[in-house]
Structure 1
Amino acid sequence: MKRKLIAAVGATAMVAGLTACGSDGDSAGGDDTLTIWAMDGSAPDAWAKELNKAFEAKHKGVQVEIKVQHWNGIQEKITTALSEDSPPDVLELGNTQTSGYAATGGLAELTDMKGKLGYDSWNEGMVPSTELDGKLYSAPWYAASRVVVYDKKAFEKAGIKPPKTRDEWVDGLRQIEEKTDKQPIYLPGQFWYVFAGLLWDEGGTLAAKQGDTWKGTLSSPEAQKAMDFYKKLQSFSTAPKDTDEAKPQQSTDVVPKGKVASWIGLGWEAAGALDAIKKAGGEADFGYFPIPGKSADKPGSVFLGGSNLAVSERSPNKELAKDWLRMATSEKWMRKYAEATEGGLLPNRESAQIEPEADSFAAAMVETSKVGRLTPVTPGWANVETEPNPIKEYMTKVLKGTDPKKAGKEADEVIAERINKS
């Protein structure tokens, strides 16, 4: 599978082998030009050209221009653009960022377009990021989630198959530990996206709203249960307890060196690991399975990172922009999008999902599409993820022996302070 997918920072760094048409730039164009800001790798060239040709045929005299943007520094760039008189007409926004831009009044409201946009058919896990205070400000475009990547030879040597439940997962890791010389799982102590999924499976959440304010909820019994299981998984790993999956980068700095039987990652990470192993003269035979759930009837919950499309409130071509957004996110064009990305990204509705190749990363990821979840949808959530991230610090403290409730209360105080900032 080609490298494509978002690497969530709150879900925000896109790495892809696909290129959108146009080039990086700030100008929004004249009244006869509809300007789209899409992130590097998000709009496959062939898909974008076909879509824009169809749109221009419908709207005679209008030209669509896609300007490729880069994730580094994009939040400041978008904030500035939305405050100007001629912003881009349509923007791609990280799904954890969208509510913040909506709260500033920079995005056009789309609530009256729910029917035209196919709101009721959208992936339920993607919907919350498109709204704020009951009003719609964007449409989901694509998403992706993490799955377990495993060394088929190591699993075969241990005599195990991909697990369907948490208990089977732990038992399999024990078998690998006993029967192979490989690390059963590489799981750094601050991989909070994985922890979030375990927490959701326990019925908990990272933060909850009380009246008009938010509070952290890591001191809850649900969080303690989630950390108990995370701690059990982490006991099979030699990964540091005080770093995340990017320090060192697991896919290119750890896995290619061998001795890792399994790890949890995104599609671009799996592709990156394969490339790195090949360049080093090795050969990898990876398999993929969803993070197991508490029971076999459904996989474990996952963080569903991705992007939305929104219209600038100050767009000089607002109605045209709304129609382009409607067209781009429709079932027809989302299916074409899924085909163009070879199933490496989840389209905004199940009916647009193509059948992925058997035993591929995409196949495992599609299984998780119905159990995808998001971080709390509120403008203040971005403050929580700012380093030092209190969720990461909470995890490290618990893994190093601090009482979970005590560590949770300390994290909750920081979360509450940050999330309630305007």
Structure 2
Amino acid sequence: MRRRLLALVCVTGSLVSACGMLPGDHQERKTVTVWLMKDSASKEFLRRFTEDFERTHDDLRLDIRIQEWTGIVEKVRGALKEPSGDGPDVIEAGNTQVPLYADGGRLADLTLESMRDWGKDTWLPGLAQPGKDGNKQYGIPWYAANRVVIYRKDLFRQAGIARPPRTRDEWLTATEKLNTGGNQGIYLAGQDWYTLSGFIWDEGGELAEEKDHEWRGTLDSPAALRGMDFYRRLQALGAGPVDADEEHPPQAGVFAGGKVAQIIAVPGLVQSIVRQNPDLKDKIGFFPVPGRTAGRPGTVFTGGSDLVVPRNTDDQFAATTVVGALTGAKWDTELARTMNYVPNKTTLAGAVAGAEGVAAMAAGAAHGRATPSTPQWADVEADNPIKEYMTRVLQGGDPAAEARRASRRITEALAPDVG
């Protein structure tokens, strides 16, 4: 099946010219091998991009190979160690994976191109920051997705709520009104730590901070504790389990049950909701996670992908040419429209303004963040102390004491390997 998928999705220049040659041109094309992740872009998008790229770059040929997310970290790490010219020239990486790949100096430094050609000042911060190490830019933002509030328009009307809330205080008030008559004002699982992260960042706190080249957990800071307190107050306005995350049970199924006014999720989850309950098709709306003030949506965790260039490519110029085309305004907005993503720049948000869910994502992504930019953050998530911390607090534990405990575990996980 994997081989058949690659055969179907691998896009080459055969549609443009046979055997990598243009008619009447005896110059051999340089093949640029690009690894993209499954479902990041449709086959039709890749076909159109390839035709356009090879038409405008008659010295280059694209070989796009689709990869599975499962096991991708070790596969990419192996490719980055290959002899020059034996591996991919461009790789799609999840934004929070870039620090893993940049560790050890195995990615090309794209700082110059970012500043000179690619308009880095308007990139979404949640994509750009994880791709940066010090003053060097390794990951180039491609597309983003983030959580918004998915809500029942009919339940809002029944509760007398004329418009979606724009501040946290309005949100709490509205949710309390909705939490009545057998309905949950919001379904928020107790261990949804990505959502908690946004509340912490909104308060000026951090999950962890680096000082003198050492990372330490900071859930016990006053700002982070304020973020947890807001989460506690919001979570109490529904019946979400305090000892599970949003996938246990899947919150799409809970929302489809018809007794939930709001959830916090990516807009694409609505497809699953409507499949399970078609009666909700025209009753669902979206709004950005509210912030502390009406003029600024809440900070949200931004997921998505960057493009990176391995240092062992044998033609960095050709590789960066492909990166520049894929992440440029023309094809980045086309990808966003095709796949319902947020474009990689705040200045391109207007391209998705017509889609309510994506527009809500774009508003939040302008203030998005990512997890701490250190290769060791994967070790934190592997045995996530933030989830346990949240459950303990929601069960009545002392927030400050539990935050200190969780922060110590984060600090231990972020300690560099020795020996």
TM over 0.5: yes
CA distance in 2: counterparts of 1:121 and 1:213, whole angstroms: 30
Contact 1:20 1:48 in 2 (8 A): no
Secondary structure of the equivalent of 2:189?
coil
Q: Which amino acid aligns with 2:106?
A: G
Contact 1:31 1:316 in 2 (8 A): no
Q: Are 1:390 and 2:385 counterparts? A: yes
Secondary structure of the equivalent of 2:277?
helix
Question: 1:250-289 to 2 correspondence within 5 Å?
Answer: 250-251=251-252, 253-278=253-278, 283=281, 285-289=283-287
Contact 2:34 2:91 in 1 (8 A): yes
State the identity %: 39
Contact 1:98 1:129 in 2 (8 A): yes
Aligned-pair RMSD on alpha carbons?
2.1
Contact 1:164 1:296 in 2 (8 A): yes
Question: 1:270-309 to 2 correspondence within 5 Å?
Answer: 270-278=270-278, 283=281, 285-309=283-307
Which among 371, 374, 378 is matched to residue 375 of structure 1? 371
CA distance in 2: counterparts of 1:417 and 1:31, whole angstroms: 50
Contact 1:111 1:135 in 2 (8 A): yes
Normalized per residue, the structure richer in helix is 2
CA distance in 2: counterparts of 1:379 and 1:411, whole angstroms: 19
Question: 1:121-132 to 2 correspondence within 5 Å?
Answer: 121-132=122-133
Q: Which amino acid aligns with 2:168?
A: R
TM-score by length of 2: 0.88
Relative to structure 1, is the Cα distance of residues 167 and 282 closer, same or farther in structure 2, using a 3 angstrom cutoff? closer
Q: Higher mean Cα deviation, 356-365 or 39-48?
A: 356-365
Secondary structure of the equivalent of 2:73?
helix
Secondary structure of the equivalent of 2:92?
strand
Q: Are 1:340 and 2:338 counterparts? A: yes
Secondary structure of the equivalent of 2:62?
strand
Relative to structure 1, is the Cα distance of residues 125 and 61 closer, same or farther in structure 2, using a 3 angstrom cutoff? closer
Deviations 1:80-118 (A, max 9, x none): 121122111100001001011011322111122221222
Deviation (angstroms), 1:39: 0.8
Contact 1:335 1:354 in 2 (8 A): no
Contact 1:20 1:40 in 2 (8 A): no
Relative to structure 1, is the Cα distance of residues 61 and 125 closer, same or farther in structure 2, using a 3 angstrom cutoff? closer
Unaligned runs of 5+ in 1: 1-18, 24-28
1:69 counterpart residue number: 67
2:322 counterpart residue number: 324
CA distance in 1: counterparts of 2:270 and 2:396, whole angstroms: 32
CA distance in 1: counterparts of 2:355 and 2:267, whole angstroms: 13
Unaligned runs of 5+ in 2: 1-6, 12-19, 21-27
Relative to structure 1, is the Cα distance of residues 46 and 232 closer, same or farther in structure 2, using a 3 angstrom cutoff? same
2:239 counterpart residue number: 238
Q: Are 1:197 and 2:185 counterparts? A: no
2:310 counterpart residue number: 312
Contact 2:60 2:318 in 1 (8 A): no
Deviations 1:208-255 (A, max 9, x none): 11111011001111121111111111111211111111111111x312
Deviations 1:138-177 (A, max 9, x none): 2100111101111111111111131111111111112112
CA distance in 2: counterparts of 1:111 and 1:32, whole angstroms: 24
Q: Are 1:215 and 2:206 counterparts? A: no
1:22 counterpart residue number: 10
| Higher radius of gyration, 1 or 2 | 2
TM-score by length of 1: 0.88
1:169 counterpart residue number: 171
2:409 counterpart residue number: 414
Relative to structure 1, is the Cα distance of residues 294 and 315 closer, same or farther in structure 2, using a 3 angstrom cutoff? same
CA distance in 1: counterparts of 2:138 and 2:280, whole angstroms: 48
CA distance in 2: counterparts of 1:321 and 1:308, whole angstroms: 14
